[in-house]
Structure 1
């Protein structure tokens, strides 16, 4: 890491930052000449900082604050090392960090450690998950009272329509996307295909699959930060909030995953389209954990506006082959690439918690050799299916009491997230929908 700074003497400042439970970057700015201290000894800030609400406030009844004296954790660099921050004017680098106790134990309330703990379960079985994520987001002009599509930098016109797979929509913002892809190269984020989506000014970019799920979550977390920062540099906003416009589709964050054995073979591949028993077991684990996981996949008040019938977001708990109305889809294609697509999460999620919930549930199903119900056919919205919790309060309660969640996440993290979301629920009820949107637009 010191070598990186020596090779980049133009960098004037660094940020050290960790993800809190809401996926917000929490950290410090440090002059580059004092970076060695953060690299060698880590940095310190209160454990409660990873357990703030969406406004950045302490949780009123959290034991991490006054009860414990608001003690510090020690934050050490992750294996990612420094990454540039190309959306800032001054040459700046970000050093991602994660939290440990004073004695070196991982802090269970850190979402990155939650994913690491799930991946340890795979490693113990000689297995490796291969993950890829698809991130949807909106480009938004938020300069007036009402949100609207930014005017095209090329024509000056606003296209007030969803334009699915429209090259014209991409070309209108070609300067933004060119800078975004250049920045992904600088930050070593594997950005692949971009498409325009069904919402107003909505786009999707896929990140390439890889055999390091921690890195996949890092990429998604950094990518969200980059997109929002680069949009502001271009004079408009970008947001991953679930539903900025009530009359158009919301944004999802879909994850595709398969699992390799010690020989590098896909354990979901049986040479045919249906997949193996291990695939069915993983599907079953994801389905049974879905009610308890809803808070991870829909963590905010606005999240549930996306999850309504006919909105391209799942509401029923089901799986299917090549069917985008189901919560879990098995895509077609070459058997060697047989995989599961988990379609429930919104774009507003914490990527670390989302991947931990999905991969943890799949592993529980594999461990139990669980069998799912029969795959559905046709329109899932018209089928009689068990339902994903449809409101925030129900999702919080389900997460708090779920035995499936207790197998995936540490008790401290469960407690911290429940306290956070109950506090947010309380205060969000005092706000109008417009005020809620204003909060979520830049944060999630």
Structure 2
């Protein structure tokens, strides 16, 4: 993987009058982390990078060290890794505060193997080597509650009041003004920092929102996703509300992060063909299905992620694809030179989008490089399928998914042994914490999960 371009890292610090520069990046869990530095400190360190203890990749969501991995050279003794800012991401977050996103690098100038943003770039560069440019988009789902974050904490994040009323279903415009005021404020903030959004609407569960970000380069869409969630949190805090990206914040509907993907080759949509999926699209589908069991661990990262996988409730439950079939895990949208694309419907709202994109792009790469043909599409409902059809179900627990990733040679080759091994160890640790620290596998949603996942990632 190449280093960041010198134009990205050595651009002069703009004269914005900021008193503080905030450094931003995610860890493997998807938490938005960073430091606030003075403009003088930023100008002095923006080329070499800023030191962060590598423990940021070794702590779980309860702030405990996660044991069980091999502790490779980049993480064994709390050494420093370096966040190198990508100057193309610098924005004025608010008066007096600039923010900039970066990646984690080692002292020798090589990327930290588990750095989410670097993994996305690595996959995009591999696709570029085949002449393809990936365009992706994400649908962000979140649930907003009337109570402030302080009240939510006091209640253990339980029995909260959905903002906008108790009606669910989808697309309702008969919402109370506080709900639309919240989303209008979010949209205004996105406009202010230059994040392009396309639509927002009422989603299935009470208080639930879907926000669609504009398509773009995978790394840039990952950046927009991370900042959008931060904005949604900040606006909720300012208005005395709380918001969560848990995969299932109540015993009702879950929340997703559907990914849309197309490939361009010489300026044309490589997924388009007049008579249906192109050969490139079919190979991409083949690769996505071949790696879906292993990728499940990445796109459904937490204990609660698997509580979504219920037939007839929205999420896919089978390793399947179909043209215009939203019950399948991969929906193919065909027949349009511009809009032909794949929708990968498995990721939960709690997924780290950088890692989810890296895993999905790895599946597409595998399908194209190995010319993997997909199975027959599912033309009926992909839920409640009887056994014997040859259609496997998606792994339905965090441990089953981790085992599937461990056994996937394709994802190991493309994402790297160090990432895969460390990720699997962290998922095994999460399973152990759940079963030893108060989790209830028989509850629709245990108190342990609410406390652990409501605010993070």
Please say whether Structure 1 and Structure 2 have the same fold, judged by a TM-score greater than 0.5.
Answer: yes
Correspondence for 2:322 among 307, 320, 324: 320
2:55 maps to 1:52 = no
1:259 aligns with 2:263: yes
Query: Does structure 1 retain, via aligned residues, the 8 Å contact 2:274–2:335?
Result: no
Shift of 1:115: 1.0
Q: CA deviation at 1:20?
A: 0.6
Match status 1:95 vs 2:100: yes
- Following the alignment from structure 1 to structure 2, what is the Cα–Cα distance between the partners of residues 117 and 32? 31
| Distance in 2 between residues matched to 1:64 and 1:48, nearest whole Å | 13
**In the aligned structure 2, how far is the partner of 1:293 from the partner of 1:393?**
13
- Deviates further, 360-369 or 179-188: 179-188
How far residue 338 of structure 1 moved from its aligned partner, in angstroms, is 0.9
Corresponding residue for residue 190 of structure 2: 184
1:149 paired residue number: 161
What is aligned with 1:364? 366
Contact 2:54-2:74 at 8 Å conserved across structures: no
Structure 1 stretches (4+) deviating beyond 4 angstroms? 1-5, 64-67
How do residues 373-392 of structure 1 correspond to structure 2 at under 5 angstroms? 373-384=375-386, 385-392=391-398
Select between 12-21 and 276-285 the one with higher mean Cα deviation.
Answer: 12-21
Cα–Cα, structure 1 residues 92 and 34, in superposed 2: closer, same or farther, change >3 Å? same
Q: Who is 2:32 aligned against?
A: 25
Q: Is the 8 A contact 2:163 2:179 kept in 1?
A: no
Query: Structure 1's 48 and 337: CA in aligned 2 closer, same or farther, altered over 3 A?
Result: same
| Residue 170 of structure 1, CA deviation | 7.3
- Summarize the Cα distance change of 1:67–1:336 in structure 2 as closer, same or farther, 3 Å threshold: closer
CA contact (8 A) 2:284 2:363 kept: yes
Q: Could you report, residue by residue, the CA deviation over 1:27-53 in whole angstroms, capped at 9, with x for unpaired residues?
A: 222233432123233101123323421
Tell me the distance in 1 between the aligned counterparts of 2:214 and 2:429: 36
Distance in 2 between residues matched to 1:256 and 1:177, nearest whole Å: 23
| Alpha carbons of structure 1 residues 361 and 394: separation in structure 2 relative to 1, 3 Å | same
8 Å CA contact retained: 2:264, 2:270 = yes
Shift of the 108–230 alpha-carbon distance from structure 1 to 2, 3 Å rule, reads same
Q: Is the 8 A contact 1:271 1:336 kept in 2?
A: no
> Residues 232-311 of structure 1: matches in 2 within 5 Å?
232-246=237-251, 248-261=252-265, 263-272=266-275, 274-311=276-313
Q: For residues 350 and 423 of structure 1, what CA distance do their matches in structure 2 show?
A: 18
Cα pair distance change 1:76/1:180, threshold 3 Å:
same
Distance in 1 (CA, whole Å) between partners of 2:211 and 2:176 is 11
Distance in 2 (CA, whole Å) between partners of 1:2 and 1:293 is: 37
Question: Equivalents in 2 of 1:66, 1:312: separation in Å?
Answer: 40
Deviation of 1:382 after TM superposition, in Å, equals: 2.5
Q: How many residues align?
A: 429
Q: CA deviation at 1:389?
A: 0.4
Paired position in structure 2 for 1:216: 221
Cα offsets for 1:84-131 (capped at 9, x unmatched) = 435xxx742222121112121122121111111111111111110111
Partner secondary structure for residue 173 of structure 1: helix
Deviation of 1:175 (Å): 2.0
CA distance in 2, matches of 1:230, 1:111: 26
| Alignment correspondent of 1:353 | 355
Alignment match, 1:440: 453
CA–CA distance in structure 2, aligned partners of residues 301 and 76 of structure 1: 32
3-state SS of the aligned residue for 1:382? coil
> Does 2:181 match 1:175?
yes
The counterpart of 1:77, out of the listed 66, 74, 85, is 85
When residues 297 and 22 of structure 1 are mapped into structure 2, their CA distance, relative to the original with a 3 A threshold, is same
Query: In the alignment, what sits opposite 2:401?
Result: 395
Per-residue deviation, 1:333:
5.7
Tell me what 2:129 maps to: 124
